[in-house]
Structure 1
């Protein structure tokens, strides 16, 4: 990759709901390029090709979502168009509609992209990016907890909760990362794009960042979302939470509802976004995940405990929903569970 004649200007967007760990995680990782690897190998540290600026709506200090005081470098309206705009995250619950106070940020992001900037968006930052209209008729990703709501609010966008990293836009100037700590994948992708894959790999190896981590879906809670507002459906959900291993659970819920079967299924889907059998599968698989994390029970026995007589069917369903086989899930998350138990004194 030929050297650039000027630094790559990266604007880190600081809105009140930003989390400082992600905002400054971007800052620290980008500025480590060409510096830390050489330092650790006894060479003279180089200078990062990136120059970061933390920009807010008005440039004044504020407290972020986690209470940390943020001191922006300036206001977005006063800054020249950067090479990259980073929406690091936005700590609002799924379903939260941004108020008009965000309109200047939405317009500024759109203006920067229209002027040639790349827009990089991590995790829940998609809530803000989607408001710009730049994702219309595009593939996109976000944290698994947000994608269902985003799909309903922005049906013209194809949402992929299983994607950890995604490039979008006709000229590939939208870069998005998905769930949880996948923001580090976004930073590595930015480094690879502007400083080269070798520089990105050096940063990854220093910071133990895994570009081949499990799909974000493996981390997701399958039973996300609360009780339905429909009291009849909520009563059936409560029953299912206690009786999901039983045979014919949907038939039992239909009887509990007192409705004709077709009416019940239609009402259940309208209230929860899924059919009653799909809902039972989600309950069963979530319990199976817990058993895989915390016990040494054989997979066949776990399948039986959560309600599956055919362990082969259970394994196929688990892989389809979680993106890992039960054995792979146990290897990845069982070890983590044991480590957490040890450090908390629970193991």
Structure 2
């Protein structure tokens, strides 16, 4: 029996979220054709394939991807409202901060009714990255587990309190709904979706062939920075500053250097950062370092001095004093507290 999958490609889509899913579906077709003696040299997305894939956009026009390239599609959601699918995957779109994410969701509002219609037909619905917000807008995540990229967690929780947000999680699964937050989990999402609409043998073969881990462990970024997600900012300038600090927290950082990288004055950056997070940039940086140090103390056997160096403190005594002030105990005490 043939199965149909629609991949909805929004403007500024991340091509990897489209290509990964399409490639896995084609691998599944190759396996099915091989088992039935119909192996083709070039599996296609045509109607006779065991898994039929359609790329859709809002209006049927080529989609401008995040990379700037244009991608042709097979149709528009408006022209396929009567079409039923076994699965729908909403590809991830580029997001430039929480405010930009919210604005983009507003521009994609026509998708919401279409997703509701598909869900009523018992179609599996999956989404990657920021597109998970469209599932929440459609009410498909009310009372269900959901995950998003770690830096969107605070904004997602404020916007969708009815969703059961799973922090520090890369992939969530509920009846009829799949979510994958970070890019590292998108292959696992596609494989899990494939497992829902095809045979276990087919899914097992694709997993074995690609070596994709369908369990999608927690996002490393979220594990490292989980304690600071609540301070993720809706101010795009501050969100960029936070990202800059998160990428360089183990390096020496000066406020004027950070401000210059954002093309603003140090005074403007300090004012807006404090207004948005309640912290000065240096205090935020210190919390990043302490949270990372606590994680390493919990999860590794690295010497305390080495952990201090890895989070940006070359002086072991200074690191130990600062850690005790921030955590209420010495690094060694923190590590041994549960033993």
TM-score where L is the length of structure 2: 0.66
* Aligned match for 1:21, one of 16, 25, 29: 16
Q: What does 1:314-329 correspond to in 2, within 5 Å? A: 314-315=334-335
Kindly state the Cα deviation for residue 118 of structure 1 after the two structures are TM-superposed.
Answer: 1.5
- Counterpart secondary structure, 2:17: helix
Q: Indicate conservation of the 8 Å contact 2:224/2:295, yes or no.
A: no
Equivalent residue for 1:200, pick from 188, 203, 207: 203
Residue 161 of structure 1, CA deviation: 3.1
Root mean square deviation, CA, Å: 4.1
Deviation at 1:313, TM superposition (A): 4.7
CA distance in 1, matches of 2:147, 2:191: 17
Q: Does 1:136 align with 2:139?
A: no
Contact 2:97–2:234, Cα closer than 8 Å, also in 1? no
In structure 2, the partner of 1:98 is 103
Q: Contact 1:161/1:217 (CA < 8 Å) preserved in 2?
A: no
Q: Secondary structure at the match of 1:54?
A: strand
Q: How does 1:252-271 map to 2 (within 5 A)?
A: 271=276
**Any stretches of 5+ residues in structure 2 without a counterpart?**
44-48, 253-272, 314-318, 325-329
For 1:32, what is the secondary structure of its paired residue? helix
CA distance, structure 2, for counterparts of residue 70 and residue 178 of structure 1 = 23
Give yes or no for contact 1:122–1:178 (8 Å, CA) kept in 2. yes
1:61 is aligned to 2:66: no
Structure 1 pair 158–272 and aligned structure 2 pair: CA distance change class (3 A): farther
> Could you tell me how far 1:271 is from its partner in structure 2?
4.1
Alignment partner for residue 9 of structure 1, among 4, 13, 16?
A: 4
Deviation at 1:53, TM superposition (A): 0.3
Q: Indicate conservation of the 8 Å contact 1:38/1:44, yes or no.
A: yes
Shift, 1:92, TM fit: 1.8
Deviation at 1:34, TM superposition (A): 4.7
- 1:35 matches 2:34: no
8 Å CA contact 2:169, 2:217 repeated in 1: no
**1:45 pairs with 2:45:** no
Moved beyond 6 Å, runs of 4+: 226-229, 241-244, 276-279, 287-290
How far apart are the structure 2 equivalents of 1:141 and 1:24? 22
1-side partners of 2:308 and 2:19: how far apart? 46
- d(CA) in 2 for partners of 1:132 and 1:49? 29
Query: Displacement, 1:217?
Result: 3.9
Q: 1:272 aligns with which of 247, 257, 277?
A: 277
1:76 maps to 77
Q: TM-score, normalised by structure 1?
A: 0.65
Q: What is the distance in 1 between the residues matched to 2:152 and 2:29?
A: 35
Matched ranges for 1:291-310 at <5 A: 298-305=302-309, 306=313, 307=319, 308=323, 310=330
What SS does the aligned partner of 1:26 have? helix
Match for residue 180 of structure 1?
183
Deviations for 1:215-250, whole angstroms, at most 9, x for unmatched residues?
A: 214566626747989x9xx9xxx9xx8999xxxxxx
Structure 1 residues not aligned, in runs of 5+:
245-267, 291-296, 320-347
Cα 1:243–1:8 change in 2 (3 A) is closer
Q: 1:90 to 1:243 in 2, by over 3 A?
A: closer
Q: Tell me what 2:269 maps to.
A: none
What is the distance in 1 between the residues matched to 2:251 and 2:26? 53
Residues 242 and 215 (structure 1), Cα distance of their counterparts in 2 relative to 1, 3 Å cut:
closer
2:222 and 2:27 map into 1 onto residues whose CA distance is 28
Give the corresponding residue for 2:263: none
Aligned residue for 2:157, secondary structure, equals helix
